[in-house]
Each structure stands twice: as C-alpha cells, then as structure tokens.
Amino acid sequence: MSSEPAVPDKASLRASDADRERVAEVLREAAGDGRLSMEELDERLEAVYAAKTYAELEPITRDLPNPGVPNMPAPAVPPAGDPARFGGVPTSHTAIAILGGFSRKGDWVVPKQFTAVAIMGGGEIDLREARFAESTVTIIAVALMGGIEITVPEDATVQVNGIGLMGGFDHRSSGTGAPGGPTIIINGAAIMGGVDVRRRPPRKSKRDGELDAGRDYRLEARRERIEARREYRHERLEARRDHIRDRHESRYPDETD
C-alpha cells in the first residue's frame, strides 16, 4: 500500500523574485515613513535579495507594522479518500477502436476525464481494480455502430447521462455507492450501437481462485466419501437381508411353495 506523500513545511519553500520585490517595497515605504534609517534600509535590502526561502524573508519585516510577508502557495492537497485508491498519474486519457477493439482494465490510473470511442468496434473499461486520479471522474463514451462495456465498482456512486440514438445507453447502474467510494459520471451517446454500464464485485485474484478451487475440490471429495459410505451401508443391508431370507427359506422350505 502506497503512503500519502509528505507535505513540505511552508517556511522551507523557495521564494520567487516577485516575493522578494514585495518585501523590498515594504522596506522602502518604511524608510520613507522614517521607521528605518538609510543604513538599515540598505542592510535589509541586501538580506532580501540574498534570501532564498520564505523562512529567510519573514524576519526582515517582522518589526514593521505591515510585515509584507508574501502569501505562501498552499501545498497541493491530495484527493480525499483512501490514498491507496486515489491519486497518481493517469495511465491514459483516451481509447479509440475503429473496426477493432480496446481494453482498459486491471491496475491502471483513471484520469479526471477519460474519452472512449468505438466505431464499428468494441471496447472494455473495467474500473474495479483501477486507481482514480481524483475522487470524481468523468467518462465520455461514444459508440457508433459499435459497443462499449463499462464495469464499475460496487461501492461507486454512478451518474449515467448518456443517450441512445437508434441504440442503447444503459442507465440501470446509476445510483449512490458506499462512503469512501469514487464518483463516476458517464456521459456520451450510443448511435446504432450500445454502451453497457454494470456494477460487479471485485475480480478475484489468482490466489483467491486457487483457494476457491481447493475448497471446491475438498467439498467434492467429501461428498464422494459420504456417497461411498452410503452405498457401502446400503450394500451391507442388502446382503444381510438376502442372508436372512436365505436362512428362512432353508429352514421352512414349504413356505416358498
């Protein structure tokens, strides 16, 4: 699981030339008001132009009425939600199939907006194992005499706004998901074609499949053992019944006539 990137200390961010000029202007105004002598102004201006970070600029005007500390840029805020599921560099922004096909599935990063076009072809977009660059993403799906299948996670909030023109655009998966899930907006058009949107559970990993196969094998083997024991008991009962009948017939032969 990837960790959330560390947010740098604001004071350690690098200052720009414009930041230094704003502080220098505050010093000049302070000198004009008589708050600083010319010697102090020269000394502080020299410190301003030598400053490289906001931490070095801030003390220069700390004792003045208008400190003139430049507004420090706010650090980038990562998308809300599970950092293992949201954020990252998008894998691709478009997918086009003309008399062919495309597929986006497995571990890939969905951008804020993804465009898919299928012209006399087909495409598959599977979002169950994907990361999302942002908590809300938009997919534009256009199918012209073709088809696009979009599979969304069960916990996603889905808004389907696409239209069908002599085709079908599936809206049945629209609805609210679980807290912490992504919001997926699907727009576009199906022209003599179709766009399918389906909610499905997460794909099983290879290990899960192997575990399921092992469990099924054990259950089948147990069923076979139970059935074998049942048949064995049945055969013993049949043999015992035949033995009792034979003994009875040998003792009372006339009763069989």
* Residue 76: predicted pLDDT: 45
Report, as an integer, the average pLDDT of 95-120. 93
Contacts of residue 46, defined as CB under 8 A and 6 or more positions apart, other chains included, come to none
pLDDT exceeds 60 at position 1: no
Per the model's pLDDT, the better-predicted residue between 4 and 236 turns out to be: 236
List the structure tokens of 21.
Answer: 């000029």
Report, as an integer, the average pLDDT of 98-106. 92
pLDDT exceeds 60 at position 136: yes
Distance between CA 229 and CA 88 in Å, rounded? 58
Per the model's pLDDT, the better-predicted residue between 84 and 85 turns out to be: 85
List beta partners, residue 122: 101, 147
Report, as an integer, the average pLDDT of 98-110. 92
> Which range (41-45, 146-150, 194-198) has the least confidence?
41-45
Report, as an integer, the average pLDDT of 121-146. 94
Region of 229 on the Ramachandran plot (φ > 0 left; ψ -120 to 50 alpha; else beta):
alpha
Tens of pLDDT, residue by residue over 53-64, are 888 888 888 888
Report, as an integer, the average pLDDT of 32-43. 84
Per the model's pLDDT, the better-predicted residue between 9 and 158 turns out to be: 158
pLDDT exceeds 80 at position 151: yes
Residue spans of alpha helices (H) in the chain: 17-32, 38-50, 54-57, 206-251
Task: Tell if the pTM clears 0.85, that is, is over it.
Answer: no
pLDDT exceeds 90 at position 188: yes
Report the share of the chain in percent with pLDDT over 70.
74
Q: How confident is the model at residue 196 (pLDDT cuts 50, 70, 90)?
A: very high
pLDDT exceeds 60 at position 256: no
Q: How confident is the model at residue 75 (pLDDT cuts 50, 70, 90)?
A: very low
DSSP category for residue 53: B
Distance between CA 170 and CA 195 in Å, rounded? 6
Report, as an integer, the average pLDDT of 111-118. 95
* Residue 69: predicted pLDDT: 47
* Residue 183: predicted pLDDT: 94
Report, as an integer, the average pLDDT of 130-150. 94
Highest mean pLDDT among 42-46, 201-205, 239-243: 42-46
DSSP string, 119-179: ESSEEEEE-TT-EESSSEEEEEEEEESSEEEEEEETT-EEEE--EEESSEE--TT-B---T
Highest mean pLDDT among 36-50, 196-210, 215-229, 230-244: 36-50
